[in-house]
C-alpha cells in the first residue's frame, strides 16, 4: 500500500510521530512518503491508498498552516485517511480536522491524539509514555 503523510511540527513531536509511523508502515511493506505541510501543494498531493495528516493544536485551534492545507485539498473524494493531533491542552483538535476532511468526502480510518507534556517542550521530548503503542494501534487501522 502507498501512504502519504503530511505533517506540521514546531518542536519535533509531530515529526517524531510520523517518522515512527512511517517505519511501522514500511515494516508492513508499505511505501511511505513524508512531507512537511509546506513541502507539498494541497492541489497536487501525490497519489496514495491512505493519507495521514498530523498537526498540533495551537492558540486553541488547529495549527494554521495545516488548517489552510486541509481546506485547500482538491480531488480527495472517497480517499482514505488517518489523523494525528498533538496538544498541550486538555482538548484535542481531531474534530476540526475531521470536519474539514469530511467536507472533502474523504473516509476516516483512524485517529489518535497525544497530550504533550508542557507547552513549548523542545526536541520531541514531550510525548506521553506509551505513545509508541498508541501509534502501533493506529498503524494497524491504516493497513
Looking at the structure of the chain, the number of domains it has is: 1
pLDDT of 99 reads 96
The Cα–Cα gap between 73 and 14 comes to 20
- Please list the residues that pair with 33 across neighbouring strands: 4
Assign residue 45 the CATH number of its domain: 3.40.50.360
> How do residues 30-62 score in pLDDT, each as one tens digit?
999 999 999 999 999 999 999 999 999 987 889
Cβ atoms < 10 Å from Cβ of 116: 22
Domain that holds residue 6: 2-142
* 35, 80 Cβ separation under 8 angstroms: no
The Cα–Cα gap between 51 and 74 comes to 13
pTM over 0.75: yes
The Cα–Cα gap between 81 and 115 comes to 21
Which residues in the chain land under pLDDT 50?
Answer: 119-123
Amino acid at each position: 500500500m502507498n501512504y502519504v503523510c503530511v505533517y506540521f511540527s514546531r518542536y519535533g513531536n509531530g515529526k517524531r510521530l510520523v517518522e515512527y509511523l512511517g517505519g511501522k508502515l514500511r515494516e508492513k511493506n508499505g511505501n511511505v512518503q513524508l512531507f512537511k505541510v509546506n513541502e507539498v501543494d494541497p492541489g497536487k498531493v501525490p497519489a496514495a491508498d491512505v493519507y495521514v495528516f498530523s498537526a498540533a493544536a495551537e492558540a486553541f485551534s488547529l495549527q494554521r498552516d495545516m488548517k489552510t492545507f486541509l481546506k485547500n485539498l482538491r480531488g480527495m473524494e472517497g480517499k482514505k485517511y488517518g489523523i494525528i493531533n498533538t496538544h498541550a491542552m486538555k482538548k484535542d483538535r481531531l474534530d476540526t480536522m475531521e470536519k474539514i476532511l469530511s467536507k472533502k468526502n474523504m473516509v476516516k480510518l483512524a485517529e489518535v491524539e497525544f497530550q504533550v507534556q508542557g507547552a513549548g517542550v523542545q526536541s520531541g521530548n514531550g510525548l506521553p509514555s506509551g505513545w509508541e503503542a498508541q501509534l502501533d494501534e493506529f498503524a494497524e487501522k491504516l493497513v
